[in-house]
Chain A
Amino acid sequence: MSKHVSVAGTLMRVDWVNPHIVLAVEAKGEGGKVEQWTFQSNPPSWYKSVGLARADFAKAIGQMITVQAVKARDGSLYGYMDKIKLPDGTSYELINGAEAK
């Protein structure tokens, strides 16, 4: 069963790489312990097709963002990003299924 997580933290890095873009987020976990999260998402060419570039995410580096993701089954702080909310209130969400067709 996939586990969804919502992580609020500071965007540390945006890697515009294939086959999946990568966002590094530093967040506070239980007891205030700092956690280093890594999130993947769709490929750069996919984001290009919907009009987004690295700069659309990288402008938030050093600022608080919220990421919703499906957590990796190996239990690590790793996930596939479904949705991101940027500091200016803009959100981007991947929509699957019939709504996407």
Chain B
Amino acid sequence: MTNRILAFVACAVLVQAVVSAQQARHPDLSGVWSYAIDRAPAALKKEVNGQVTLQKIDQSARHGDASKTKGVQPSEPRPTYKAQFQAKVKDLADHESRTDPVFYCGRPGIPRIGPPRKIVQLAKETIFLYEDISGDPYRVIPTDGRPHRRYPNPSAYGDSIGKWEGDVFVVDVTGFGEDTWFGEDGYFHTDAMHVIERLWRDGDNLVWQATVEEPNVLSKPWVMPARLLKPSTDSLEESPKCVESDGGRLLNDDHHLQR
């Protein structure tokens, strides 16, 4: 009996050691990372009893230049659509205040939502948490070697599997629906879209870079500009509900010049 107990304990210790060793082999991406969506380019001026303070917004995660960061692949600012789709993209972009699902509280989907706000890296799966005006999506990304689900329901955030390529966490995403745009300027897609996200550490920071493959509408894969994210001490909060009230007031196609 004593030998059985000792054998059990030894096995448990061995399993724990193997798991720890596996985790130790990879950089730890866990943590809260700076907000990377586009935000109003304004600062807040507060005045109390004549004392003025100016609170600025850190937009570096969205608008900073990460192109020189180690590991970043050469990127292009915008995708290249096949000739027969260029007029459609332009038309959608020209009328985006009426045609962009996100303006009407729709889900941005992958990759438009950008990098996760929080990462929880576990032995067999990695969890991405987001804050977004359309709700707060999450993704549970298996890293145990399983393939994509055979028949995933089409969705905005797709079906994801993760693996490590050296120190880079690579997330392969398929199973998309067709009702999202993969970028703000009318970047429509079909259910053939395939996205590869790459995440790695650059010192204290996190780097995120995505590639969009869409053989139906793009003439070549689009490697998006990378985003460099700083560690954040903000706690994640439930995003308030989205109540769009501008659509009925639009007098022209410019969403933000109605006033």
Q: A51 CA to B40 CA in the complex, in Å?
A: 15
Decide if A90 touches B240 in the complex (CB within 8 Å).
no
Encoded as 1 (CB less than 8 Å from any A CB) or 0, chain B from 105 to 143 comes to 100000000000000000000000001011000000000
Q: Which chain A residues lie closer than 8 Å to B46 at the CB level?
A: 90-93
User: Do residues A46 and B243 form an inter-chain contact, with CB atoms below 8 A?
Assistant: no
Assess whether A60 is interfacial by the CB under 8 Å rule. no
* Inter-subunit contact B245/A44 (CB<8 Å): no
A2-B44 Cα distance, complex, nearest whole Å: 21
Q: Is A50 part of the binding interface, using a Cβ–Cβ cutoff of 8 Å?
A: yes
Q: Does B150 lie at the interface of the complex (its beta carbon under 8 Å from any beta carbon of A)?
A: no
A19 touches B244 (CB 8 A): yes
Closest chain-B Cβ to A28's Cβ sits at a distance in Å of 22
Does any Cβ of B come within 8 Å of A95's Cβ? yes
Task: Tally inter-chain residue pairs, CB-CB below 8 A.
Answer: 109
| Nearest-CB residue, chain A, relative to B49 | A89
CB distance from A79 to the nearest CB of B (A): 6
CB of A19 within 8 A of CB of B133, answer yes
- Nearest B residue (CB) for A99: B43
Chain A 59-76 near chain B by CB (<8 Å), digits 1 or 0: 000000000011111101
With A17-B241, A18-B240, A50-B55 as contacts: A72 and B42 at CB distance below 8 Å: no
The answer to the question of A48 belonging to the interface, with a C-beta cut-off of 8 Å to chain B, is yes
Chain B contact residues: helix, strand, loop or mixed: loop
User: Are the CB atoms of A45 and B251 closer together than 8 Å?
Assistant: no
Minimum CB–CB distance from A55 to chain B (whole Å) comes to 13
Which A-chain residue is minimally distant from B131 (CB atoms)?
A45
Is A46's CB under 8 angstroms from B39's CB?
yes
Contact residues in A for B37 (Cβ distance below 8 Å): 45
The chain A residue sitting closest to B243, CB to CB, is A17
Q: Which of the residues A47, A50, A52, A72 comes within 8 Å of B258, measured between beta carbons?
A: A72
Is B249 within 8 A of A76, CB to CB? Answer: yes
B residues 36-61 touching A (CB-CB < 8 Å): 37, 39-49, 54-58
Q: Is the CB of B57 within 8 A of A49?
A: yes
Q: Kindly provide the distance from the CB of A80 to the nearest chain B CB, expressed in whole angstroms.
A: 5
* Cβ of B17 under 8 Å from chain A: no
Measured CA separation A46–B45 after assembly (Å) = 13
Please determine whether A18 and B133 come into contact, CB atoms closer than 8 angstroms: yes
* Residues of chain B lying within 8 A (CB to CB) of residue A2: 257, 259
Which residue of the partner chain A has the closest CB to B237? A48
A34 to B255, CA, bound (A): 29
Q: Residues of A contacting B131 with CB < 8 Å?
A: 45
B45 & A101 in contact (Cβ 8 Å cutoff): no
Name the distance in Å between A38's Cβ and chain B's nearest Cβ: 8
Compute how far the CA of A40 lies from the CA of B46 in the bound complex, rounded to whole angstroms: 18
**A-B pairs with the 5 shortest C-beta distances?**
A18-B133, A100-B43, A50-B44, A18-B242, A70-B259
Could you name 22 residue pairs across A and B whose Cβ atoms are closer than 8 Å?
Answer: A17-B240, A18-B105, A18-B133, A18-B239, A19-B244, A42-B42, A43-B39, A44-B240, A46-B40, A46-B57, A51-B55, A52-B44, A72-B249, A72-B259, A73-B259, A79-B259, A92-B44, A93-B46, A94-B44, A94-B45, A96-B42, A100-B57
- Further 20 A-B residue pairs, CB within 8 A, beyond A49-B58, A94-B45: A2-B257, A2-B259, A15-B243, A17-B240, A18-B133, A18-B134, A18-B242, A19-B105, A46-B39, A49-B39, A49-B57, A50-B55, A50-B57, A73-B259, A74-B258, A76-B249, A90-B46, A96-B42, A99-B43, A100-B43
